[in-house]
Structure 1
C-alpha cells in the first residue's frame, strides 16, 4: 500500500506514565504538522471517517446502533470490498477456505467480525466491537485509553484538540521515528484518559489496515503474525473475542531494516 504525504514531529521520548500528569509530556507540540486532506475525499476514507462518531467511548456504556449508523457500516464495507487491496485479501482467504467466494457472503463475514457488538470485560451489555476498539478507541474507568490504533482518528482528534501527544516510544529495534517511517509507537491522552503505549501505522489507507487485520484474524487468531514489507519487519498482534470477533489488533515494529 502506498504511503500518503504526511509530516509529523516525533519530538521527545515518552515517559512511563502512571497517570496523566502534564510534567511527563515529552512533546510540547502536536504530532501532525501536515496532512494532505484531499485524500479524505476518496470513497473509502469518506466512508471510514463517517463511522468515527458512531460510538460511546466508555466501556460499560451500551452501544445503540441506529439504522443510519448501520447504513454507514454497510457503505464502508461496500467501498472497501471494491478496492484492489481487499479483493486480493479476499482471493487469498477463499483459496485457504477461510472466507466464502460470494462477495455478499464475504461482506456478511466482515460485518460479523468487525461490527457485531459484544460485551467487553466488566460489562454485562454489548458495549464494544472490533471496529470501535481498533479504529476509534475506547476508555476504561475514565482513566485508561484502550484500542485506538488508527492514524486518521488520531489526526482528526488531535485537530479537534482532544488529543495530547506525549511522545514516542522506542526499543533496540525501533529507532527514533521520523516522517520517513510509517509505524509509530507512542503515548497520548484522550478524553481525560491516558494511552501509556500504543502502536499505529502512519499514512496508510483504511482498506490496507482492514484487509491486513482481517487476514491476520482469520489465518492466525490470537497469535502474533510476522509480516514483512518495504523496509519493515512487523508483528501484527491479533486477539479474538470468543473466537468470533476481533478483540484487538495492532502492528508492532520488530525491525526497521534501514536503521
Structure 2
C-alpha cells in the first residue's frame, strides 16, 4: 500500500470519528418516522445524458409529511428557508445581492455558529491550523467558502456560489440541473409543485430504506430532468456544512473524495473546489448496516 493511500485511510478514519461525534451533536436533525416520512416507491429507470424525459416510477411525492412546526422552530432551518429564494436559478444570469439578503446570510451564519455541531467543527479546524480561533474570522471563512459569488459561466457577472449550488440548485442554459443536494429544498419545491420525484436510484436488490440518511434520486425541477442526484435526508444545515467545510479546508486538491462511516452508513463524501470557494459537495451512500440488520431479522 502506497504512503499516500495509507495517509488517506488514516485521514478517513479520523474524519469518521469526528463526523460521528457531529452526528451525535446534531440535535436539530429531524427523526424519520417522527418528524418526517418518505415514500421511496419505485426504482427510477436509466436515461441517457441530456435526456429531458423519464418514466415516472413514483406516483406520490417523496415526502409524505414533514413537521413544519419543528422546521420553523429550529433556528438554523428557519433561517435556511429564508435564503432559498435569494438566488437566480439559471446559470449565466448575474446574481444581485440586496442588503436584506446580506443580512439574511449573516443571520444564518450566526445561527449555525451557535450550534454544538459548528462549535466542535471550529475547535477541530483550529487544532489542525486550518482556522483562526477568532469566531468573527471563522464566520468570514465560512462566508468565503459558501457564499462568495463567482463565475460558473463566464459570459456574465458572478452567477453562482457554493451555497446556491449545493443547497438551492441551478439550471444551466442547456437545460441541465446542477447541484441541488439538499433535502429541505427538495421538500419545499415538491410541496410547491415545482419538483416531481421520479424514483430512487440504487443497485439491483439494494432497496433504499425510509430511515436511510442518504438517498440517490431522480427528479424533474421546473420541467428539467436530473437523471441522478444525491443528498442527506433529515440532517440539519449545520451538519452538512460542517462535514463539507472540514473536507474543503483539510485538502487542497481540486476534487476530494473521502470514504467515511457515519452512524450505520458507509458513504463517500465528494467536495470539488472553485478556487478559494466551494464548487460542489454531495454524499453518495454505499451501504447501510441498519438496513441489512433489519433484512436479516425479518
Shorter-chain TM range is over 0.9
Question: Which of 1 and 2 has greater Rg?
Answer: 2
1:230 aligns with 2:263: yes
Pick aligned residue for 1:186 from 217, 223, 229? 217
Task: Name 2:295's counterpart in structure 1.
Answer: none
Q: Please report the TM-score for the alignment, with normalisation by the length of structure 2.
A: 0.83
Q: Please report the TM-score for the alignment, with normalisation by the length of structure 1.
A: 0.95
Alpha-carbon distance in structure 2 between the residues aligned to 1:63 and 1:121: 12
1:38 aligns with 2:69: yes
Gaps of 5+ in 2: 1-22, 24-28, 293-298
Pick aligned residue for 2:108 from 52, 56, 76? 76
How many Å apart are 1:72 and its aligned residue?
A: 0.5
Task: Name 1:12's counterpart in structure 2.
Answer: 42
Judge conservation of contact 2:91–2:152 (CA < 8 Å) in 1. yes
Q: What pairs up with 1:147-186 in 2 under 5 angstroms?
A: 147-171=179-203, 175-186=206-217
Q: What pairs up with 1:2-151 in 2 under 5 angstroms?
A: 2-4=29-31, 5-18=35-48, 19-21=51-53, 24-41=55-72, 42-141=74-173, 143-151=175-183
How many Å apart are 1:175 and its aligned residue?
A: 2.2
1:239 aligns with 2:266: no
* Aligned residue-pair number: 256
Q: Where is the helix percentage greater, Structure 1 or Structure 2?
A: 2
Instruction: Describe the SS at the equivalent of 1:13.
Output: coil
How many Å apart are 1:93 and its aligned residue?
A: 0.3
Alpha-carbon distance in structure 1 between the residues aligned to 2:267 and 2:153: 28
Judge conservation of contact 1:226–1:234 (CA < 8 Å) in 2. yes
Alpha-carbon distance in structure 2 between the residues aligned to 1:95 and 1:240: 22
1:123-180 CA distance string (max 9 Å, x none): 44210000000000000125211100000000000000000101000026x8211212
170 and 7 in structure 1: CA distance in 2 versus 1, 3 angstrom threshold? same
Root-mean-square deviation (Å): 1.5
Structure 1 segments (4+ residues) deviating >4 Å: none
Instruction: Describe the SS at the equivalent of 2:150.
Output: coil
Instruction: Describe the SS at the equivalent of 2:229.
Output: strand
Instruction: Describe the SS at the equivalent of 2:118.
Output: helix
